[in-house]
Amino acid sequence: MTRTRAYRAGRLEAEGFPVADISDWLARPDTVVWLDHCLSDGDDLGDVAEEFGLHHLAVEDALNERQRPKLDRYDSHLFLAAYAVGLDPTTSELHSSEIAVFVLERALITVRKDERLDIDEVVARWDGSEQLAGHGVAFLLYGLLDYIVDGHFQAVQDLDEAIETVEDLLFEEHQDQIQLVQRRSFELRKSLVILRRLVLPMREVVNALLRRDLHVVEGDMVPYYQDVYDHVLRATEWTESLRDLITSILETNLTIQGNRMNLIMKKVTSWAAIIAVPTAITGFYGQNLPYPGFGKESGLIFSSGLIVGLAGALYWAFRRWDWI
């Protein structure tokens, strides 16, 4: 459930060593340690908190779920909460994985709430940027944030493609397609609301890390964090635009449904008017009173001709007005 790494003077010295050996590694100069822990039932992080002197409020936030993405400052360390996300392409359901991060001067501690966050991908990014390893904790934190923010950006892009698919179905006449548009629109809207809740606070988190008084990001690492911040801004703005777009799709769908209902009512009313003509004439001739043509063949011919003539005239008029 735990993974460890030790960097010394910008080079990977060891990994997979016991947690009890972390103090020995930190006793060496120019050494930075990474500890990753995936929580299981009953974990309390007591040994880790005592080893590194972590604040009990930060430890409590790391153990509790559903934390807001944030960056808290304590005397000896920083506490960061963030979420890695992924989108199910078939259902458009957004999956999130919470991670808590303790940022110390010479150590980075990551606490994952589940195994959905691919920590191997984070390690691969560290291994692919060995030239930055000399920057210590700032380098490790950058690799983690870059992976998380890239996941946000990918989720926004996937949602954009899913919304374009719904737009293509918007004007379909088939009933199944209409129901699909309604269902997918609400699913996408739900995912966008959740994604916005996770992406928007990251702007404050990364911006706070760039503050000089924290002494976390300095020197050559500043442009890399600014690049992450730029990606956060783009993901945030894209999420906002997609939320407006999905709202427009929902409103357009309701408008289309209303127009289709009006068209149906117009057709039903037109046919009702045509049917009313023979009903009225036959009702009149059904009286038990003498009238012109009563009991004669001419009365039948006249009434039948009147029915056909008036019904045909109404049908022609309604067709001309595009009511039928």
Look up the domain containing 207 and give its range: 2-257
The answer to which of 60-64, 203-207, 318-322 has the lowest mean pLDDT is 318-322
Q: What is the pLDDT of residue 108?
A: 94
17 plus 50 within the same structural domain = yes
Are 245 and 266 found together in one domain? no
Q: Are residues 166 and 288 in the same domain?
A: no
Question: Do residues 239 and 192 make contact, with C-beta atoms less than 8 angstroms apart?
Answer: yes
Q: Whole-model pTM above 0.75?
A: yes
DSSP state of 171: T
**Low-confidence winner among 2-11, 124-133, 275-284 (lowest mean pLDDT):** 275-284
Q: Is the pLDDT of residue 157 over 80?
A: yes
Helix, strand, coil content of the chain in percent (nearest 5): 60, 15, 25
Question: Is a pLDDT exceeding 70 seen at residue 270?
Answer: yes
Task: Report the number of distinct structural domains present in the chain.
Answer: 2
Pairwise CA distance, residues 179 & 190, whole Å: 17
Q: Are residues 229 and 288 in the same domain?
A: no
CATH of the domain at 53: 3.30.460.20
Assign 163 a pLDDT band (cuts: 50, 70, 90): confident
For 89-106, the pLDDT digits (tens) are 778 888 999 999 999 999
- Answer with the one of 227, 257, 287 that is the final residue of a domain: 257
Report which of residues 228 and 289 the model is more confident about: 228
pLDDT-derived band at 42, boundaries 50, 70, 90 = low
Boundary residue ending a domain (242, 257, 272): 257
Q: Which of 95, 100, 46 is nearest to 77 (CA)?
A: 100
Residues 186 and 71 in one domain: yes
Question: Is the domain of 172 the same as that of 270?
Answer: no
Q: Do residue 181 and residue 286 come from a single domain?
A: no
If you average pLDDT over every residue of the chain, what do you get? 85
Measured distance CA(119)–CA(2) in Å, rounded: 11
Select from 212, 227, 257 the last residue of a domain.
Answer: 257
CB 110 within 8 A of CB 144: yes
- In which band, very low, low, confident or very high, does the pLDDT at 32 lie, cut at 50, 70 and 90? very high
Long-range contacts of 74-82 (CB under 8 A, 24+ apart): 76/52, 76/104, 77/52, 77/53, 77/102, 77/103, 77/104, 78/102, 78/103, 78/214, 78/216, 79/55, 79/103, 80/141, 80/205, 82/145, 82/148, 82/202, 82/205
One-letter amino acid of 239:
T
Ranges of H-type helices in 128-221:
137-169, 175-209
Residues 192 and 308 both lie in one domain: no
State residue 100's pLDDT score.
93
Same domain membership, residue 101 and residue 160: yes
90 and 134 share a domain?
yes
The predicted structure's pLDDT at residue 174: 66
Tens-place pLDDT, residues 106-138: 999 999 988 888 899 999 999 988 888 888 899
Is residue 79 located within the same domain as residue 172? yes
**233 and 271 part of one domain:** no
